[in-house]
Structure 1
Amino acid sequence: MEKDNVIKMNLKNGEKFTKVLLPFVLAGVILLLLAFNSIVIVQAGTRGIVLQLGAVQPLVLNEGLHFKIPFVQQVIPVDVRVGKAQSDQTAASRDLQIVTTTIAVNFHLVPDEVNTLYQNVGLAYEDRIVAPAIGEAVKAVTAQYTAEELISKRSEVSAKVKETLAAKLSTYHMALDEINITEFKFSTEYNNAIEQKQIAEQNALKAKLDLQRIAVEAQQKVERAKAEAESLRLQKQEVTQELIDLRRIEAQMRAIEKWDGKMPSVTGGATPFIDINQVK
């Protein structure tokens, strides 16, 4: 009996202790939940948008540790680092050629204005804002140039697209960092026309160079003829009696060098030989 009474008393004391301790345990758990839910850490490269009972608050949380009201406030992280959007945009040039432009765009959200962007657009801003803005900017600028100018004035076209797109994105609290037009694609017909034009220009250039070469060669012949005529004129002016006598003497010397030692039977030429057989 005594043992049973002891057990019963212990059970009653345990129940009393549990009843007394349980509220403290529950309070501790609730406090831990509140403490855990009241702390938020905004990671590097992001900003925190504060929602209070669903309403966007004007405060934007920077990177680091912050406190919020548990179960009342919610913090939504938004990436503000540089992002990339790339697309192919088809537009008509000023001379009505269809041009497909491949463009890559680097942009980022304005950190202090992400709450307004979230309130007006949401987090699907790339599909709702960026892609349409790129297409509109490319079409607006492409229409100002001919297809040939799009290639020859590529840097100017790129600068205008960047200026137009930056203005559009700034309206939605986004900043444009850089754009890169990687390629212009034209229709097959236009590419063939360009190729034929280049062939015609090359042929025209070759013909022009040939004409220039012929003209130079003709001028060279004229100059050579003038030089030869002038040389003959100078030679005629320099012919004197002394020169004639010198040429005769040189001819006689060449004849003597060729003589084999036999006297000719007949006199002739410039050498005064006589027939010895007739001298008796």
Structure 2
Amino acid sequence: MEINPNMKPLRPGRIISWVAAGLIVLLIGGNSFASVEYGHIGLYKTFGKLNNNMLSPGIHFKIPFFQSVIQVNTQVTKAETDTSASSKDLQPVSTHVAVNYSVNKASAYNLMNNIGGNFDTVIINPATQEIVKEVTAKYPAEDLITRRDLVAGEISELLTTRLAKYDLVVNDINIVNFKFSEAFNQSIEAKQVAQQQALKAENDLRRIEIEAKQKIAQAQAEAESLRLKKQEVTAELIQLKQIEVQEKALEKWNGVLPTVTGGATPFVDIQALTQK
């Protein structure tokens, strides 16, 4: 390989400049684009000021170093809240509620500009706690258990109205758990035991009544059968039965008359049989 004697050698300073220029280009290029994930919308933030131009999922250009893109989740999200309250009959109740909500896409700018990204702790949780306390106070403790769907429906209706002011959509409400005092739990258990015992006693009484009716019906049937049998007994039937008995006795007779003295009548009327 021949070396051109006229070619000037590269200076270290020039090499460093080229490397620095390349790094700057890469840095600027890397900060010129931002991606918005699926299920989100993006909003430009320039020098700390939010822009109402909403970005769909995908890659978008931005001014390097001076502009950023914040993402707002528009998918259904769950917020869980614990609330302590009192029922209508002044029983302490601890409630764990799960709220499924989503952000209204068209109003995402207003939500982020007026409240910010922590709207779940600023808006949703306090509103849920307040409404749960309000609704819980309308029902006796036992009704909170037996009418759980009605209670959840009322909480959902009130919370939907409240969060709509902040462009938040309530998709569903779930009362995960009601927790009462130990004394109340024991009283509920005792009541259930008493109800079960009363039900058993009622079933036993019903069974006894049915068995008694069955015995009466059986006795009546037997009495009716006996009455009908008595109606069937006539003088001719009695005489016929007597003849049948005498015939059976004659069949078994060996021809020897019994040697019995006295005025007793022979047990078979020979004359009557011979005249037939």
**TM-score after normalising by structure 2:** 0.77
C-alpha separation between the residues in 1 aligned to 2:218 and 2:23?
A: 114
Does the C-alpha gap of structure 1 residues 100 and 253 become closer, same or farther in structure 2, counting only changes over 3 Å?
Answer: farther
Residue segments in structure 2 that go unaligned for 5+ positions in a row? 1-7, 271-276
Amino acid at match of 1:271: V
Tell me the residue number matched to 1:229: 223
Tell me the residue number matched to 1:3: none
C-alpha separation between the residues in 2 aligned to 1:84 and 1:143?
A: 25
C-alpha separation between the residues in 1 aligned to 2:127 and 2:217?
A: 69
Question: 1:212 aligned to 2:202?
Answer: no
After superposition, the C-alpha distances for 1:209-259 in whole angstroms (9 at most, x for unaligned) are: 222222222222222232233223323322222111112112223433454
Question: 1:48 aligned to 2:42?
Answer: yes
Question: 1:271 aligned to 2:264?
Answer: no
Question: 1:135 aligned to 2:129?
Answer: yes
Q: Match of 2:85, SS?
A: strand
Q: Match of 1:215, SS?
A: helix
Give the aligned length.
259
C-alpha separation between the residues in 2 aligned to 1:33 and 1:147?
A: 63
Question: RMSD value over aligned CA atoms?
Answer: 3.4
Q: CA deviation at 1:70?
A: 4.5
Question: 1:156 aligned to 2:150?
Answer: yes
Does the C-alpha gap of structure 1 residues 86 and 25 become closer, same or farther in structure 2, counting only changes over 3 Å?
Answer: closer
C-alpha separation between the residues in 1 aligned to 2:89 and 2:252?
A: 89
**1:187-266 correspondence to structure 2 within 5 Å:** 187-266=181-260
**TM-score after normalising by structure 1:** 0.76
C-alpha separation between the residues in 2 aligned to 1:270 and 1:163?
A: 103
Structure with more of its chain in helix, by fraction:
1
C-alpha separation between the residues in 2 aligned to 1:208 and 1:37?
A: 80
Does the C-alpha gap of structure 1 residues 149 and 28 become closer, same or farther in structure 2, counting only changes over 3 Å?
Answer: same
After superposition, the C-alpha distances for 1:120-146 in whole angstroms (9 at most, x for unaligned) are: 222222222222222223222222323
C-alpha separation between the residues in 2 aligned to 1:229 and 1:269?
A: 38
Q: Match of 1:58, SS?
A: strand
Amino acid at match of 1:52: T
Amino acid at match of 1:106: N
Amino acid at match of 2:81: S
Tell me the residue number matched to 1:4: none
Amino acid at match of 2:72: V
C-alpha separation between the residues in 2 aligned to 1:167 and 1:82?
A: 18
Which residue of 159, 165, 181 maps to 2:175? 181
Which residue of 79, 82, 85 maps to 1:88? 82
* Paired-residue identity, %: 45
C-alpha separation between the residues in 2 aligned to 1:128 and 1:202?
A: 48
C-alpha separation between the residues in 2 aligned to 1:231 and 1:27?
A: 121
C-alpha separation between the residues in 2 aligned to 1:32 and 1:76?
A: 22
**1:59-138 correspondence to structure 2 within 5 Å:** 59-138=53-132
Does the C-alpha gap of structure 1 residues 82 and 253 become closer, same or farther in structure 2, counting only changes over 3 Å?
Answer: same
C-alpha separation between the residues in 1 aligned to 2:35 and 2:200?
A: 72
Q: CA deviation at 1:48?
A: 2.3
Amino acid at match of 1:59: N
Q: Match of 2:178, SS?
A: strand
C-alpha separation between the residues in 2 aligned to 1:137 and 1:194?
A: 26
